[in-house]
């Protein structure tokens, strides 16, 4: 049996199991889509796009549709730690909700501090109840870094004064899967920037369970919903890269799919913001673009209903989906050049070297990425 047949069968079994569960909230997805003026045809187009985005053959499209429909059977608990809430904003902020936002709303969201009506004692009770009621079966999504200095007391949440560190340990225990949403939860983000007085860390550094890291400050709604869809569909984590990011989303460099790549190859660079090159859409490398060091699907998936992404808006990528980007990628408006960047390991350094030799860049990056990538799909 081929690899995809086995995966398809796994998906069918998983969906059949989930279909037996009675959803907590009872509005069917179809009805929710209609309420937002989204037609069945739009939904089917969305499922085909998600299938392709997840690097699955198009024959998986009906499975994606079914998984979306039964997403209300999978409890999701979403915690906020040290962060700006931009990750939630990325997902829900739209004047007309995208299909991704409607699907997210359809997932059985049991706890989310910025979206729920409850507050104070009631909110704490809701969390305790959800952790107990869905023990062993919920997806835990975490937004924000975990301060660890002074026993975690730089961050306390709620009226009982629990530290973020305690809450994460407690919530991780009963989770079926853990997703770090955004660079803060994945790698510490801006909170962990030097000198990092609160000793902020990513979730994966403070607990001993597998964590999927969705890098990006913020990550796109596509990468959040796609990851949740994958888990709902197959009941397991997708293949991950060396930083535990899903390969389907973070497998290629920003630079490889950038619409200005032809300009880079032709040596046509913006020399300073506002010059004629900037007006003509030249490459932003010399004004600091870190696309050659950064793995993410921003050029292909974009943000805000596929409207735009940083380079299209006229500023270079600042490497926001990479570990330690706040320090390692600075100055954001100057090229890294040959500077040795330890935190990005030799991969980035070799790519940096290759950039100066221009023609070697594509070959070098792919070869190095291939050597370091690890596949944990079945773990
Ligand atoms: Fe961090 Fe998300 Fe950046 Fe903000 O919360 S990844 S600071 S966009 O919101 O965690
Ligand atoms: Fe695009 Fe930046 Fe690469 Fe230039 S350096 S091609 S702007 S990603
Ligand atoms: Fe971040 Fe670069 Fe994408 S700055 S949003 S990874 S283009």
**Global pTM?**
0.88
**Residues 6+ positions from 249 with CB-CB distance below 8 Å:** 53, 214, 222, 223, 226, 227, 296, 297, 301
CB of 215 within 6 A of ligand 3: the answer is: no
> Distance (Å, rounded) from C-alpha 185 to C-alpha 203?
6
CB of 316 within 6 A of ligand 3: the answer is: no
Q: Which architecture characterizes domain 252-378 according to CATH?
A: Irregular (4.10)
Residue 208 labelled as part of a binding site: no
| pLDDT tens string 82-125 | 999 999 888 876 555 788 888 888 888 888 888 888 888 888 89
Residue closest via CA to ligand 2's atom 3 equals 255
| pLDDT tens string 322-376 | 999 999 999 999 998 755 444 444 444 444 444 444 433 333 333 333 322 333 3
Q: Which architecture characterizes domain 2-249 according to CATH?
A: 3-Layer(aba) Sandwich (3.40)
How far, in Å, is the centroid of ligand 1 from the Cα of 54?
23
Preceding omega of 331 cis (within 30 degrees of 0): yes
Res 366: pLDDT: 34
Where, residue-wise, is CATH 4.10.480.10 in the chain?
A: 252-378
* Average model confidence (pLDDT) across the chain: 87
Where, residue-wise, is CATH 3.40.50.700 in the chain?
A: 2-249
Which listed ligand is nearest to 223 at the C-alpha?
3
| pLDDT tens string 175-212 | 999 999 999 999 999 999 999 999 999 999 999 999 99
Judge residue 379's burial from the number of C-beta atoms within 10 Å of its C-beta, 0-12 exposed, 13-18 middle, 19 or more buried: exposed
In ligand 3, the atom with minimum distance to the C-alpha of 290 is: 2
């Amino acid at each position: 049996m081929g690899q995809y047949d086995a995966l398809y069968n796994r998906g069918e079994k998983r969906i059949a199991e989930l279909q037996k569960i009675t959803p907590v909230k009872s509005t069917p997805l179809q009805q929710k889509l209609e309420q937002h003026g989204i037609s069945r045809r739009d939904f089917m187009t969305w499922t085909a796009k998600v299938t392709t985005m997840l690097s699955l053959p198009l024959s998986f499209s009906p499975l994606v549709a079914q998984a979306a429909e039964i997403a209300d059977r999978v409890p999701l608990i979403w915690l906020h730690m040290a962060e700006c809430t931009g990750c939630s904003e990325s997902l829900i902020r739209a004047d007309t909700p995208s299909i991704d936002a409607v699907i997210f709303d359809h997932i059985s969201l049991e706890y989310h501090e910025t979206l729920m009506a409850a507050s104070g004692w009631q909110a704490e009770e809701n969390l305790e109840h959800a952790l107990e009621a869905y023990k062993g079966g919920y997806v835990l999504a975490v937004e924000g870094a975990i301060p660890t200095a002074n026993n975690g007391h730089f961050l306390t949440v709620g009226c009982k004064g629990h530290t973020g560190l305690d809450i994460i340990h407690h919530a991780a225990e009963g989770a079926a899967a853990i997703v770090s949403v955004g660079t803060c939860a994945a790698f510490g983000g801006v909170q962990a920037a030097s000198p990092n007085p609160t000793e902020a860390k990513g979730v994966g550094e403070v607990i001993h369970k597998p964590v999927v890291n969705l890098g990006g400050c913020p990550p796109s709604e596509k990468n959040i919903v796609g990851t949740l869809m994958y888990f709902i569909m197959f009941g397991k984590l997708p293949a991950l890269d060396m930083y535990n990011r899903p390969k389907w989303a973070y497998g290629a460099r920003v630079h490889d799919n950038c619409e200005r790549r032809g300009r880079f190859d032709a040596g046509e660079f913006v020399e300073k913001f506002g010059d004629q090159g900037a007006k003509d859409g030249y490459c932003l490398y010399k004004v600091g673009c870190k696309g050659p060091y950064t793995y993410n699907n921003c050029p292909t998936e974009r943000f805000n209903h596929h409207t735009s992404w940083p380079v299209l808006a006229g500023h270079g990528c600042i490497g926001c989906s990479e570990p330690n980007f706040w320090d390692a990628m600075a100055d954001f408006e100057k090229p890294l050049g040959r500077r040795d960047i330890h935190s990005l390991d030799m991969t980035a350094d070799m790519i940096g070297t290759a950039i100066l030799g221009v023609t070697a860049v594509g070959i070098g990056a792919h070869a190095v990425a291939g050597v370091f990538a690890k596949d944990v799909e079945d773990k």
